[in-house]
């Protein structure tokens, strides 16, 4: 296995009002992930989770580092298969030229993750979530 699997599993939008944004996506008829509420919400869309997370909290986790002015309020995530793989994937990203934004830590939601910035400042979360399930191609099939 590669240290960083070639998969995009989560796109997180930093939301100023999670409840209002959640209502919008629900009104589109998109399937909401279990555990969603007005503090965090997710929608499983064709193998990728669209996550809504409070902008202030996302900025605290992922907003530092990278070129000045590069923080857009959006993160991309690559979920790995085990908790221990987070640190290996994070180290591999740094070795490939990524900038460390936030070292991997155990999160209050039960997973582990860290953030890197690619050379253009785009934020990637390298994460493990015990509830994430993938198909044989690495596409996310359930979360939560």
pLDDT one-digit tens code per residue, 45-91: 888 999 999 999 999 999 887 677 778 889 999 999 999 999 999 99
d(CA 73, CA 130): 25
Do β-strands 48-54 and 10-15 pair in parallel, antiparallel, or remain unpaired? Answer: parallel
pLDDT one-digit tens code per residue, 82-118: 999 999 999 999 998 888 999 999 999 999 999 998 8
Nearest to 139 by CA among 35, 6, 2: 6
Query: What does the pLDDT read at residue 28?
Result: 83
Query: What does the pLDDT read at residue 68?
Result: 75
Q: Would you say the pTM of this structure is higher than 0.75?
A: yes
Q: Is pLDDT of 19 > 90? A: yes
Q: What is the CATH number of domain 10-133?
A: 3.10.180.10
Q: Is pLDDT of 1 > 60? A: no
pLDDT one-digit tens code per residue, 24-46: 899 888 899 999 999 999 999 88
Q: For residue 109, give the 3-state DSSP assignment.
A: coil
Nearest to 48 by CA among 90, 19, 76, 14: 76
Higher pLDDT: 67 or 129? It is 129
């Amino acid at each position: 296995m590669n240290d960083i699997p070639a998969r995009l599993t989560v796109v997180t939008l930093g939301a100023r009002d999670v409840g209002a944004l959640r209502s919008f996506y629900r009104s589109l008829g998109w399937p909401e992930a279990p555990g969603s509420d007005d503090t965090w919400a997710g929608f499983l869309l064709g193998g990728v989770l669209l996550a809504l997370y409070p902008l202030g909290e996302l900025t605290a986790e992922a907003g530092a580092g990278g070129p000045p002015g590069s923080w857009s309020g959006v993160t991309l995530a690559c979920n790995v298969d085990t908790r221990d793989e987070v640190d290996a994937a994070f180290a591999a990203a740094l070795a490939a030229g990524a900038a460390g934004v936030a070292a991997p830590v155990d999160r209050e939601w039960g997973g582990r993750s860290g953030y890197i910035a690619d050379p253009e400042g785009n934020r990637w979360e390298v994460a493990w979530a015990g509830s994430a399930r993938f198909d044989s191609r690495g596409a996310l099939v359930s979360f939560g």
